[in-house]
Amino acid sequence: MFKLTYKHERIPLKRTFTISRGSRDAIDVVYVALESEGITGYGEAAPNHRYNETAESVIAVFKSFDTDGIDNPYDSVHVNEYIGSLHKGEYSAKAALEMAFLDWVGKKLKTPVHRLWNAPSTTGPKTSFTIGIDEPSLIAEKVKEAEAFPILKVKLGSPYDREIIEEIRKATSKPVLVDANEGWKTVEVAMENIRFLVDMNIELIEQPMPSSMHAEMTRLKQLSEIPLIADESFTGREDLGELSHAFHGINIKLMKTGSMRFAMQKIAEARKHGLKVMIGCMVETSLADTASAILSLWADYADIDGHLLVGRNPFSGVVIDKNGYVTLNDKYGLGVELAESIFD
Ligand code: MG
């Protein structure tokens, strides 16, 4: 019998974060704790407005969650199916619940989740560090702040994209990925930008065009010299065969797939279709980022910097080592620790 408690927090960001769709100074997260036999498993939801999720909708899921439906917490297939069957959508809440059960099971079995899943190592790829849209004149300073990170991910989709990239390239020769967040609305505009980005030695482009423009993206893939990664075009439920016509890879995020277990299946499926795999994150604390980091042990690229952007982080777990690699610890469960009591 599990006792469920949750806690909503509005967390300030270290810096205002701007992407093509708007700016934010703070984020909402809802933590969930599942306690049984003196052991507590933790999960985190970072609700996404794009998918009509809010802290309130996450809390509604947690309030209505009947833990009696979990007969056997060790049966991850059953846990996953039960959580999935309760609501339409609400993937961030579902991800949090599954995370908490996995954390509990790992702690109960005195085993890290990455060992339960036979991860090839405890070190994932190097993570990129995200630079949001900003005045071109401030970019050099932001590159300096990101000195410790070997790969930069730059948000585009502003009227001064080229100035931003030129400023980045004046400041550093590091590998740079760009994320247009659906900002380019025609193949012609996208190709003009891509030609420029080829000259600027950009490694990858995430979501150049709107997710509704699959046909245009398919044309773009034929033309682009830079690999294209689906983010908004991949929420977890799309046909990966179809997606492989329009993209070279997919960005899997726990808050979109709603489940670590399901995300693992998607990694395997992506491989069958020749798709590269990036594990991304939302702006979230070390709790959800540690769960994402576990998935990254099987991925080509990691973009797990959410916990580095938040101004408050009650959890510790994943560490980015001095060379920028995503590094897991050997603590039981997900490998997170809560520094203070946050559940009333
Ligand atoms: Mg993205």
Q: How far from 59 is each of 7, 96, 297, CA to CA, in Å?
A: 9, 11, 30
Neighbours of ion ligand 1 (CB under 5 A): 179, 206, 231
Cα 263 to ligand 1 centre (Å):
17
- 279 is written with which tokens? 């594990």
Cα 189 to ligand 1 centre (Å):
19
Give the model's pLDDT for residue 232: 95
Give the model's pLDDT for residue 34: 97
- 221 is written with which tokens? 């893939």
What one-character DSSP code corresponds to residue 50? Answer: G
Q: How far from 106 is each of 42, 187, 219, CA to CA, in Å?
A: 11, 47, 45
- β-pairing, 276-279 with 301-302? parallel
3-state secondary structure (DSSP) of residue 250: strand
Cα 315 to ligand 1 centre (Å):
24
Give the model's pLDDT for residue 129: 94
Averages of pLDDT over runs of 10 residues in the chain (344 residues) are 96 88 92 97 96 97 94 93 93 98 98 97 96 89 93 90 95 96 95 97 97 97 98 95 98 97 97 98 97 98 96 97 96 96 85
Q: Is 205 left (phi over 0), alpha (psi -120 to 50) or beta?
A: beta
Cα 181 to ligand 1 centre (Å):
6
State the Cα–Cα distance between residues 216 and 83, nearest whole angstrom.
36
State the Cα–Cα distance between residues 293 and 333, nearest whole angstrom.
13
Q: Are 290 and 318 in contact (CB under 8 A)?
A: yes
Q: Which residue has the tokens 């699959």?
A: 214
Give the model's pLDDT for residue 118: 97
Cα 302 to ligand 1 centre (Å):
12
Give the model's pLDDT for residue 22: 83
Cα 24 to ligand 1 centre (Å):
15
State the Cα–Cα distance between residues 90 and 178, nearest whole angstrom.
28
Q: How many CB atoms lie within 10 A of CB 135?
A: 12
Cα 232 to ligand 1 centre (Å):
7
Cα 300 to ligand 1 centre (Å):
16
Q: Is 90 left (phi over 0), alpha (psi -120 to 50) or beta?
A: left
Cα 206 to ligand 1 centre (Å):
6
Cα 164 to ligand 1 centre (Å):
17
State the Cα–Cα distance between residues 323 and 127, nearest whole angstrom.
10
- 336 is written with which tokens? 């997170």
End-to-end Cα spacing for the chain: 20
Cα 21 to ligand 1 centre (Å):
11
Give the model's pLDDT for residue 21: 79
State the Cα–Cα distance between residues 234 and 250, nearest whole angstrom.
7
Alpha carbon 309 to chain centroid, angstroms: 13
Give the model's pLDDT for residue 164: 94
State the Cα–Cα distance between residues 277 and 287, nearest whole angstrom.
21
Give the model's pLDDT for residue 134: 85
Cα 4 to ligand 1 centre (Å):
32
Cα 5 to ligand 1 centre (Å):
31
- 255 is written with which tokens? 């808050």
Give the model's pLDDT for residue 325: 97
